[in-house]
Amino acid sequence: MSESSGATPRLTLLRGDITEQQVDAIVNAANSSLLGGGGVDGAIHRRGGPEILEECRALRASKYGRGLPTGRAAATTAGRLPARWVIHTVGPVFSSSDDRSELLADCHRNSLLVAEELGARSVAFPAISTGVYRWPIDDAAIIALRTVSQAPSSVAEIRFVLFDDRALTAFRQAADSLGLPLG
């Protein structure tokens, strides 16, 4: 059995600001342009400084000329942030008529794959798609936690950083209903 398929990452939930996290990699809820936006994306670029945008532009000029597709993930430096890397992923916009849950799950799976390629041991996620993209927080929490708990990973700690009490409560309840132990 490979090292990565044997380990179970420690799962933690906390209320806070993802830009302040002392982890190897933080995940950004970006958009396909990779050129910044509001919400967590805006905060990461603002606090991380121009180096992040420079690397995003380089990704657009090379591998992702048409933008980063929804559900995919790509890494840059974290600039001035305490983390070493930012893993940018593009969540789906919520739709009540079209089930895009697999795309939201892909964001989590692909971000963890990129983290593994980087050699990151600790990764912090925001609640992807639950802001501007309007995904209901209770459902997003179930998808996020179920996906990371099922993805084989050599990452030692997966941390969800929730911006408000409502989101923290939703993630705690989701962990409880999925029977996931929290570290």
Q: Could you give phi then psi for residue 115, rounded to 5 degrees? A: -60, -40
The angle at the Cα of 166, spanning 161 to 170, to the nearest 5 degrees, equals 75
The helix (H) or strand (E) run that includes residue 159 is: strand 157-162
How far from 33 is each of 17, 69, 72, CA to CA, in Å?
23, 9, 12
Beta carbon of residue 6, minimum distance to ligand AR6 (angstroms, whole number): 31
Provide the β-strand partners of residue 77.
85
Q: Please say which residue, 24 or 41, places its beta carbon nearer to ligand AR6.
A: 41
How far from 55 is each of 76, 85, 142, 157, CA to CA, in Å?
6, 11, 32, 26
DSSP 9: -
98 is written with which tokens? 């079209």
Strands 73-77 and 85-90: antiparallel
Q: Please say which residue, 27 or 115, places its beta carbon nearer to ligand AR6.
A: 27
Catalytic annotation, pick one of 17, 24, 41, 138: 41
Q: Pick from 54, 50, 26: which is nearest to 40 by CA?
A: 26
Binding site for ligand AR6 (CB under 6 A): 17-19, 29-31, 37-41, 43, 91, 126-133, 161, 163, 167
Q: Please say which residue, 67 or 152, places its beta carbon nearer to ligand AR6.
A: 67
Beta carbon of residue 39, minimum distance to ligand AR6 (angstroms, whole number): 2
Pair 29, 128: CB distance under 8 Å: yes
Q: Please say which residue, 60 or 152, places its beta carbon nearer to ligand AR6.
A: 60
Q: Please say which residue, 83 or 128, places its beta carbon nearer to ligand AR6.
A: 128
CA pair distance 33, 56, nearest whole angstrom: 9
Beta carbon of residue 94, minimum distance to ligand AR6 (angstroms, whole number): 8
Beta carbon of residue 30, minimum distance to ligand AR6 (angstroms, whole number): 6
Beta carbon of residue 150, minimum distance to ligand AR6 (angstroms, whole number): 21
Active site residue 41: yes
Active site residues: 41
